[in-house]
Amino acid sequence: MGGFIQMTLTEIFGVPKPIIGMVHLLPLPGSIRGHCPLSEILDRAVKDAMELAEGGVHGIIVENIGDLPFRLSPVEPHTISAMTLIAHEISRRIQIPMGINVLRNDARAALAIAHTVGARFIRVNIYSGVMITSHGIAIGESERILAYRKFLGASVKIFADILVKHAFPLGDPSIEILAQETAYRELADALIVSGVVTGVEPSLSELIKVKRAVPDVPVLVGSGAKPENILPFLQYADGAIVGTFFHKGEILSNPVEKERVLQFMEVIKTGL
């Protein structure tokens, strides 16, 4: 059983197979590419969140994707401060559930932000095991994350990636074993299966393997979802996180376009 108590996505999102949109933040002040004032970053983030909500997604994740190249963890205090402010302002304007992802892998910061602003879940890229990334070797810290959640008294759920994008596992573990370890021994509340890089869809066969390995734990598609592939994925997955498709021209630095969100969600409404 994943987590301390078996969770269904309906408890958070109100639907059994939610579509979660990404609020990809522009480079934050203090990051390598940061050049915009925080007010401009905030305005874009709020507008993107509202476009997603008005387009019909069931939840959002606020993520500092613009801060490339990333630190593995921990991030600097100014990053936490900016993301907390932005997430709070978004929460004042939309009613759908929110998640937080602090890249590259600062789950404790994500938990603190989520608990402060009332977000319902966090995404953790490397929650368990060892992954080799362009930023260095990342080691999962599931026990430390769970202990911090308990310390905070937070009800925030943990959505953990399996073989996350832009990283490779140390060794050659099967995806089924990774899924079972992450869910049943490391107590993640939900699992995420992605492609090898941002915007690339995962292998359907690997998604099926993960779901069969952990049939009682929610499994989400974490990248590459589009109107033409989402229905086959949702035959097996319990939901999807959608980022690239919702942006104008499918370029992450461009704004979210509500028309693209509506197009995607129409497929969901008519196909499920």
Instruction: Check residue 109 and give its pLDDT.
Output: 98
Confidence of residue 4 (pLDDT cuts 50, 70, 90): very low
* Band of pLDDT at residue 37, cut at 50, 70 and 90: very high
Contact 15, 218 (CB under 8 A): no
For the CA atoms of 77, 48, 165, 185, the dihedral, rounded to the nearest 10 degrees, stands at 70
In 3D, which of 164, 158, 134 has the Cα closest to residue 71?
134
Residues 234-264 have pLDDT tens digits of 999 999 999 999 999 999 999 999 999 999 9
What are residue 34's phi and psi, to 5 degrees?
A: -65, 125
What count of other Cβ atoms lies within 10 Å of the Cβ of residue 203? 13
The answer, yes or no, to whether the previous bond of 104 is cis (omega within 30 of 0) is yes
Q: Is 256 part of a structural domain of the chain?
A: yes
d(CA 31, CA 64): 10
* Residue 6 pLDDT: 58
| Residue appearing with tokens 């959640």 | 149
Is residue 223 within 8 Å of 198, Cβ to Cβ?
yes
pLDDT at 170: 84
**For 43-59, b where at least 16 C-beta lie within 10 A, e where not — what string?**
ebbbebbbbbbebbbbb
Mean pLDDT, all residues of the chain: 94
10 lies in some domain: no
Residue 262 domain-assigned? yes
Query: What integer is the mean pLDDT of 39-54?
Result: 98
- Tell whether the model's pLDDT for residue 190 goes beyond 60: yes
Residue 50 within a domain: yes
**Burial zone of 166 (CB within 10 Å; 0-12 exposed, 13-18 middle, 19+ buried):** middle
**Dist. CA 75–CA 113, nearest whole Å:** 12
Distance of CA 267 to the CA centre of its chain: 22
126 pLDDT band, cuts 50/70/90, is very high
Cis peptide before 69 (omega within 30 of 0): yes
- Tell me the C-alpha distance between 15 and 62, whole Å: 20
**Is residue 111 over pLDDT 60?**
yes
Structural domain that includes position 214: 17-271
pLDDT of residue 136: 85
Q: Are 202 and 162 in contact (CB under 8 A)?
A: no
User: Number of helices (H) and strands (E), helices first, in the chain?
Assistant: 9, 11
Which of 96-100, 129-133, 212-216, 224-228 is least confident? 129-133
Give a yes or no: residue 9 inside a domain. Answer: no
Q: Once rounded to an integer, what is the mean pLDDT over residues 31-41? A: 94
pLDDT single digits (tens) 139-174: 999 999 999 999 999 999 999 999 888 888 888 889
Whether 58 is in a domain gets the answer yes
Has residue 92 got a pLDDT over 50? yes
Instruction: Give domain status of residue 8, yes or no.
Output: no
Is 105 within 8 Å of 129 (Cβ atoms)? no
Instruction: Give dist(CA 162, CA 265) in Å, integer.
Output: 26
Number of domains within the chain:
1
Beta-bridged to residue 214, according to DSSP, are none
Question: What order do you get walking across the sheet with 136-139 strand by strand?
Answer: 136-139, 130-133, 167-169
CATH code, domain carrying 38: 3.20.20.70
123 is a domain residue:
yes
Place 86 in a pLDDT band, splitting at 50, 70 and 90.
very high
